[in-house]
């Protein structure tokens, strides 16, 4: 059986996931407007995830936050070159230089049911390989003008079906799509 592959990510209103240098200050500032008890569905989403697949740059950004936020969830860091993992990281954090299709097949054959795909390049690679089933996009009401786009060039159009939209008191708008 094939795993479901989902994206759960935030962008600025103008479609960027980070500033050109990877800085997330705009997102940190926006998150300060969110009520303490509101996580915009993240905990429920993460409770459904077997494996988190992220790119090396995303991994390095997450490491800069301090404590490892994913507990014992299996994490695969995609990179063409080997990644050295600090001893304090859980053993469930591994590296893969496989293509998205090969990694997807391997994880599915290991009985993974739900993959969380994170990081701009990684999301784009999985989309272009036709491996994303669902996208949850939270739009933060800020324009940053330039940065790292979530979506890049595509090999073909990708049609989406709207599943639902939520508006949070802080002004975030979260829309969930199925990839057709």
pLDDT of residue 14: 97
Residue 1 covered by a domain: no
Which pTM value belongs to this model? Answer: 0.95
Distance of CA 83 to the CA centre of its chain: 19
Q: What is the pLDDT of residue 66?
A: 86
Q: Is residue 6 part of a domain?
A: no
Which residues in the chain show pLDDT less than 70?
none
What pLDDT was estimated at residue 75? Answer: 98
Give the CATH number for residue 77: 3.40.430.10
Q: What Cα–Cα distance (Å) separates residue 15 from each residue in 11, 71, 124?
A: 5, 29, 14
User: Is residue 4 a part of any domain in this protein?
Assistant: no
Domain presence at residue 63: yes
How many structural domains is the chain composed of? 1
For 19, the domain range is 14-172
Q: Domain for residue 106, yes or no? A: yes
- List the beta strands (DSSP E) in the chain: 4-12, 16-18, 51-55, 74-78, 93-96, 114-118, 134-140, 148-149, 160-167, 173-179
Q: Is residue 77 part of a domain?
A: yes
Per-residue model confidence (pLDDT) at position 93: 97
In a domain, 65, yes or no: yes
Predicted local confidence at residue 155, as pLDDT: 87
Q: Is residue 7 part of a domain?
A: no
């Amino acid at each position: 059986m094939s795993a479901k592959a989902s994206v759960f990510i935030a962008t600025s209103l103008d479609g960027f996931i980070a500033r050109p240098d990877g800085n997330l200050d705009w997102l940190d500032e926006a998150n300060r407007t969110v009520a303490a008890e509101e996580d915009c569905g993240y905990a429920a989403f993460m409770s459904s995830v077997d494996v988190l697949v992220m790119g090396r740059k995303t991994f390095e950004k997450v490491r800069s936050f301090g404590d490892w936020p994913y507990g014992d969830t299996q994490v695969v860091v995609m990179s063409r070159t080997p990644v050295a993992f600090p001893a304090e990281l859980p053993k469930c954090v591994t590296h893969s230089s496989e293509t998205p299709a090969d990694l997807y097949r391997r994880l599915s054959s290991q009985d993974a049911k739900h993959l969380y795909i994170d990081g701009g390049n990684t999301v784009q690679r999985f989309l272009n390989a036709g491996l994303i089933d669902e996208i949850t996009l939270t739009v933060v009401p800020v324009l940053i003008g330039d940065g790292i786009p979530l979506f890049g060039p595509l090999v073909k159009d990708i049609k989406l079906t709207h599943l639902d939209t939520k508006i949070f008191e802080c002004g975030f708008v979260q829309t969930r799509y199925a990839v057709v």
